[in-house]
């Protein structure tokens, strides 16, 4: 079911590439942005205003798959080798805390 005001799959998520030497405050380094994709408009991409100040851990990577996000973190070493924490979840851009 699509969120109110957004058709299914019509948003694109973007964020800064993580750089460990960045001196940005944590809230800015973890921020992400949403864009509406409209192939019928003169402006293909327009900003979607989000409630609050949504963030994702800047050390984690994100891949958008339709209305889902695949998120994975940095490698974690264990007794049997390196593993990556990950999760796949439905993303609702209208939720103040989509995580």
The range of the structural domain enclosing residue 40 comes to 11-90
Q: Is 59 domain-assigned?
A: yes
Whether 96 is covered by a domain: the verdict is no
Could you give phi then psi for residue 47, rounded to 5 degrees?
Answer: -70, 140
Please list, in sequence order, all residues whose beta carbon lies within 8 angstroms of the beta carbon of residue 60, skipping any fewer than 6 positions away.
71, 72, 73, 74
Residue 4 lies in a domain: no
Token pair 């979607």 in the structure block, residue:
48
What Å distances lie between residue 36 and 11, 46, 89, CA to CA? Answer: 5, 5, 20
Residue 76 belongs to a domain: yes
Number of domains the chain contains: 1
DSSP assigned state of 31:
B
Q: For 13-68, what is each residue's pLDDT tens digit?
A: 777 766 777 788 877 888 888 888 888 888 888 888 877 777 888 888 888 888 88
pLDDT of residue 2: 43
pLDDT given at position 98: 59
pTM exceeds 0.75, yes or no: no
Closest CA to 32 of 4, 65, 74, 60: 60
Q: Residue 88: pLDDT band by 50, 70, 90 thresholds?
A: very high
């Amino acid at each position: 079911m699509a969120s109110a005001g957004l058709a299914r799959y019509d948003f694109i998520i973007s964020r800064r590439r993580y750089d460990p030497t960045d001196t940005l405050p944590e809230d800015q380094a973890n921020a992400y942005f949403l864009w509406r994709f409209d192939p019928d408009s003169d402006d293909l991409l327009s900003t979607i205003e989000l409630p609050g100040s949504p963030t994702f851990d800047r050390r984690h990577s994100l891949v958008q798959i339709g209305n889902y996000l695949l998120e994975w973190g940095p490698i974690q070493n264990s007794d049997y080798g390196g593993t990556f924490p990950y999760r796949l979840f439905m993303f609702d851009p209208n939720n103040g805390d989509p995580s």
